[in-house]
Chain A
Amino acid sequence: MGGRLWAMIVKELWAILRDPRGRIILVVPPLMQLFVLGFATTLEVKNTAIGIYDRDGGAASIEIAQRIVGSPNIRAVLPLYSEAEARAAIDRQKVVAVVSFADGFSADLAAGRPAQVQGIFDGRKSNAAQIMSGYLSTIIAGYGAELAGQTASFSTVTVHWFNPNLQYLWFTMPGLVVIITTISGLGLTAQSVARERELGSFSQLLVSPLRLSEILIGKIVPPMLVGAFNATLYLVLISQLFGVPLTGSVPFFYVSLVLYLLALAGVGLLISSVSQTQQQAFLGMFFASVLAILLSGYASPVENMPLWLRVVTEAVPTRHFLVVSEGVFLKDMPIADLWANSWPMVLIAAVTLPAAALLFRARME
């Protein structure tokens, strides 16, 4: 039994690693994904352009405009000279927002009369608009307080734990460890059996004395090893190159990683067992990856989803492992919390793996 299983695992590893091109494919595209996605999948609002429509031209409006220009999140300020121009700039998305000062704004302010600054935002970009609105109101409120020569009655001191400067990269990188491991892991397991079926070598396996369990274990161990290798690579890169702190228990990260890869292998094998061809397996794997990314909380927070969908996400192993990864990187999460986010993966693996085995048995003929 040991010998046969060993032969099977070694063969699968050869199949993955023999081709030099295959070895490159295993490492290079994930690394590219790490870099491109790391920088591209950002929800931050930076480098934006806003318009200023200043009908006043007084000291106060110029001062506010200057402060806006000086804001680090704003790349360009577009002076606008008419209502129509302002409207067109927003319509055609030249700017995300237009700040508008009414005639007599500075005079009102100097005289102590209430004065308004109007902000018009492009609601099509609701996320950016919302965040930009926050920036602008802070700038204006700060100026107002200075004018009044006083601070507010009391104030709020904000502390961001785990990520003091709210660097977006600190969020994407621990998330990408999970996402990229998912894509490569699912890809390998979903293809493995479908490929043998298509090439005709599967029947060769079935007439050999290999047991079903040996075939299946042989099929999941190598992708798990590859997944663990890739995850290790990212762990090192992210903490050393990108400077994201690695605060928590690395050993437990690996415990959780193994559970995650098991749950994933179960899903991959399920796809493989229902697919007749490599192409179907690929489409299935693609679909599962999109599902995993969307429902994991990486693309947008789970809390924002409707209740029924939040319930569904409990069955998505990626969602649980994402919490673990964030916890180990940024939060120095205690083992108890890590475990609370790990055991659901055990449950998922305990369902998907036997289900895949059963389906295989049923479809062997």
Chain B
Amino acid sequence: MTGAPDRPAARLSRVTRRFGKAAVPALDQVSLQIRAGRMTGLVGPDGAGKTTMIRLLAGLLDPDEGEVEVLGSPAVSADRSRIGYMPQRFGLYEDLTVIENLRLYARLRGLAAESRQQRFDRLLDFTDLRRFQSRLAGNLSGGMKQKLGLACALVETPDLLLLDEPGVGVDPLSRRELWGMVQQLLTDGIAVLWSTAYLDEAAQCDEVFLLNEGRLIYGGPPQDLTREAEGATYRLAAQGLARRQLLSRLADREEVRDATIQGAALRLLMAPGAPPPSGALAVPPRFEDAFVARMGGGPGGRSALAESYPEVPDTGAPAIEAEGLTRRFGSFTAASDIRFTVPRGEIFGLLGPNGAGKSTTFKMLCGLLHPSAGRGRVAGHDLGHARAAARQSLGYMAQKFSLYGDLSVRQNLSFFAGVYGLAGAGRRRAMERMTEIFHLGPYLKQNAGGLPLGVRQRLSLACAVMHEPPVLFLDEPTSGVDPIVRREFWTHINGLVQRGVTVLVTTHFMEEAEYCDRILVIYRAEQIALGSPDQLKAEAAGTGGLSDPTLEDAFVALIEARETAVGRAGAAA
């Protein structure tokens, strides 16, 4: 390896980069150093400047001000054969096979022919892609694409490895595997920059740079930041609906800086020196606690939306029912015999790796897909016979921002009000209420597409709940947003549930899953576990022998257990 260990592999000094006429620079006077042999995390919400920084380091952008130095020379003229770069969408040629992609990048990076085969062997074993080497990259699963992307960045052992959000849109299982692989590389003395929106990943890095709105708000070992929340974090057990009411109350208190639901308990971050509520047990702080504290604490617990929302009458009937939902595409079964019922006023989560069938199930329940067999009901309306009535009673928020980006905020609101049958004075009132509740006033005339992420998030929710549906469908509602926006969002959901609204949510974020009353885990088209977050953790603790597992540990353990069970059954047969 080149260079003394104390010499940084890359260095930014007072770098500023603007795009177009944007008022806020994408990066604003950022200085930092990336060192060899360390996992350096680059953390921040979407739009914080992570990708800009990585592209600057890869020599794909020029800084407006300041200097970017990589491996001892300016980034734009650095020796590119010594830099491994995996862009956000992996940079793979989808119509080339696994091995063809590897060969291409090997030759482009100038890897000597004689050492090529040996290197490929190592990478194929390392990524466990040997079985798939003649498969087209486009036909790989998301997790496998990622591994191949990594392998392509590693064809020649680089001195600096830049990974742009390798974990985005990928399930926890694949994320863990990738993390493990990159960890191994560190022993070779490579400098790794790993950008992520997941704070739990950041916490495991050797060093972390926290970006927000283009500014570096923290740089150093994550433990140092975590320590700032030392002695201020507590856990307060509470059950059922009571914990939601408790959350609303506590989050509103001056001395509570942050409150979230974690299964059958609340996690609290108290202001320095403030006494915890009675019954709360002290727990070790997490990176996220410190992050939220740095950002000025979480939002209050009151939801103006919930307060003006009509109480959903309790008819005694379940709000969502899935009776043996099955969907086949040709010979492939995407979802098989999914059954569950969700009572009124519950948050129900769908979890599973990519491609396991949770989106298929979700789509069947909101009427986007017809089941091949089985039935679904929403608010008592059969999706087969009473589609219009079923649709009128559900609110839907898609994974990607899917409102009309080229219409103004007001036009979006007006359209969705009209589509759900609100007219005249009713529509005007609904629009005014949404504008007030979600603080959309200053943005009414702006195009929805150009809004800051957090505002877009609020607008999406506003459009989904404007007609006051008794059931809400949320498809990965907060991926990519910062923890504060996520808390605001869940404050509203939390409040709505107290008014009797039922919520079905899919997510890869375990913090989101913790808000659920019950979770259904789907794997390989089948439901493999159903229970509250704590039940799932307990189940995993039993089978996996883990002590005090996180929900993510539980998720991984459940899937691995299933995998071995299937493997054993296969071997027995």
Contacts and interface: CB of A to CB of B under 8 A. Distances in A.
Contacts of B398: 200, 203-204
A3 B404 contact: no
A3 B369 CA distance: 26
Given A3-B421, A199-B402, A201-B404, A209 B415 contact: no
B420 A208 contact: yes
B292 interface: no
A18 B419 contact: no
B312 interface: no
B366 A200 contact: no
B388 A209 contact: yes
A208 B391 contact: yes
Nearest to A1: B421
A18 B408 contact: yes
B481 interface: no
Contact residues on B (Cβ < 8 Å of other chain), bracket: 20 to 34
A10 B408 CA distance: 13
A7 B404 contact: no
A211 B394 CA distance: 15
B392 interface: yes
Nearest to B473: A207
Which residue, of B369, B370, B418, has the highest number of chain A Cβ atoms within 10 A? Answer: B418
Contacts of A6: 418
B71 interface: no
A4 B406 contact: no
B176 interface: no
Contacts of B473: 207
B400 interface: yes
B223 to A, nearest CB: 40
A15 interface: yes
Interface in B389-434: 391-392, 394, 396, 398, 400-408, 411, 414-423
A68 interface: no
B368 interface: yes
B367 interface: yes
Interface in B359-393: 366-370, 388, 391-392
Interface in A183-211: 199-201, 203-211
B407 A15 contact: yes
B370 A207 contact: no
Contacts of B366: 207
A359 B551 CA distance: 44
B468 to A, nearest CB: 14
Contacts of B418: 3-4, 6-8, 10-11
Contacts of B403: 201, 204
A10 B415 contact: yes
B368 A203 contact: yes
A201 B402 contact: yes
A303 interface: no
A165 B400 CA distance: 62
Interface in A300-359: none
Please report whether the interface of chain A is mostly helix, strand, loop or mixed according to DSSP. Answer: helix
Contacts of B421: 3-4, 209
A19 interface: yes
Interface residues of A, number: 25
Contact of B411 (A11, A201, A207, A208): A11
Nearest to A218: B419
Contacts of B400: 200
A35 interface: no
Contacts of B411: 11, 14, 18
A146 interface: no
A119 to B, nearest CB: 59
Contact of A11 (B368, B391, B394, B404): B404
Interface string B471-483: 0010000000000
B20 to A, nearest CB: 16
Given A15-B406, A18-B408, A207-B391, A365 B420 contact: no
B396 A18 contact: no
A19 to B, nearest CB: 6
A185 B82 CA distance: 53
Nearest to A205: B419
A6 B415 CA distance: 9
Contacts of B447: 18
Given A18-B407, A19-B406, A209-B391, A365 B369 contact: yes
A25 to B, nearest CB: 13
Interface in A15-60: 15, 18-19
A310 B404 CA distance: 44
A211 B447 CA distance: 27
A311 B185 CA distance: 70
A209 B404 contact: no
B339 to A, nearest CB: 21
A292 to B, nearest CB: 28
A10 B416 CA distance: 11
A203 B396 CA distance: 9
Contacts of A209: 388, 391-392, 419-421
A8 B394 contact: no
Nearest to B366: A207
B454 to A, nearest CB: 19
A315 to B, nearest CB: 33
A286 to B, nearest CB: 23
Interface string B445-483: 001000000000000000000000000010000000000
Contacts of B404: 11, 15, 199, 201
Contacts of B406: 15, 18-19
Nearest to B329: A365
Given A14-B407, A15-B404, A200-B400, A206 B367 contact: yes
Given A11-B407, A14-B411, A18-B408, A206 B368 contact: yes
Nearest to A364: B368
B419 A4 contact: yes
B420 A203 contact: no
A204 B475 CA distance: 12
A32 to B, nearest CB: 24
B415 A11 contact: yes
Given A19-B406, A207-B394, A3 B368 contact: no
Given A7-B415, A10-B418, A203 B367 contact: no
B423 A3 contact: yes
Nearest to B464: A204
Contacts of A200: 398, 400-402
A209 to B, nearest CB: 5
Interface of A: 3-4, 6-8, 10-11, 14-15, 18-19, 199-201, 203-211, 364-365
28 contacts: A3-B423, A4-B419, A7-B415, A7-B417, A10-B415, A11-B404, A11-B407, A15-B404, A15-B407, A18-B408, A19-B406, A199-B404, A199-B405, A200-B400, A200-B402, A203-B396, A203-B398, A203-B402, A204-B396, A204-B402, A205-B419, A206-B367, A208-B396, A208-B416, A209-B419, A209-B421, A211-B388, A365-B370
Q: Which 4 A-B pairs have the closest CB atoms?
A: A7-B418, A200-B402, A11-B415, A207-B396
Given A365-B369, A365-B370, 4 more contacts: A4-B421, A11-B418, A364-B368, A365-B368
